Chain A
Amino acid sequence: MEKIITLEEAVSKISDGMTVMIGGFLGTGSPDLLVDKIIEKGIRNLAVVANDTSFPDQNIGKLVVGKNVSKVIVSHIGTNPETGRQMNAGELDVVLVPQGTLAEQVRAGGAGLGGVLTPTGLGTIVEEGKEKVVVDGKTFILEKPIRADIAIIRASKVDRKGNCVFDKAARNFNPLMAMAADTVIVEADEIVEVGSIDPDQVMTPHIFVNYIVKGAK
């Protein structure tokens, strides 16, 4: 099965109102070409799940500035003043989640789990409206799994089957999101032949990846 498609074809999988996971941490490890194409196509009303809303001129930050997004589920918005402005103006729904909780919710979404029990957020506004579970005398917050219609991720090296290798701190949420969406598109800095990545070095196995697009490098 041929997984390599054009940017145009890749973004045609994304439509208005979808929930989209976007890998990266303050732009590092984010799929820049795919995001630029979403903006170019004018896709609107997206719900984005990501670590943060990056900077106004970078990746997810541009989606916020371009008003392609109506909701974000993120751990941090402080580096993008436009996110805060839209939130305060009632134009953007912002759900703030502790970073470690977000990582586990996404992982749970991809791992078939009914949620995770975490102590993070106890005694804070994060626990409001959530079920608490006591295990062996310790109290935890039940945080539900998160899934998406599409995940767009970034990898440094991908073989034609879709096996992914991430580079340094660009790994972050990418391998987790690759497991938690109905359709997964990876933007690959480099596409290599099958067999040229040592199986021991594969960080995301190809079965999680539906489509591959060539990145800018």
Chain B
Amino acid sequence: MADAICLIIRKAPYGKIHAAEAVRHVNGAMASGLETRVILMGDGVYLARGNQETAKAGWTSLSGTLSQVPEAKGGENARFYVHQESLADRGLDPHGLMEAFQVIPDQDMARLVAGCKKVLLF
């Protein structure tokens, strides 16, 4: 865990490029052999919702891309988390999220971030 890198995603997908860039960098971190921890918080939690259908809008579906991440190179070294309080603030049902995501409360998130050697914010 000492060499883990944490990517914190705070923006909702599609309105800004941050979430798409974050997903691209998640793949890059995994391919680089890093222990990768992805945390969604704030509006970033919307990224964890499954079945995002974007083809008609011309965007790549980030849920589609993310759902393939665990099977990608280095995927066994990646873990995915959603901030519980951010979900609750937005009235989102934790049961409607993609399978790879684990819902964690404030204190667990703090421990997770503190345990990572590097943190990238998106």
Q: Do A and B bind each other?
A: no
- Which of A's residues lie within 8 Å of B, judged by CB? none
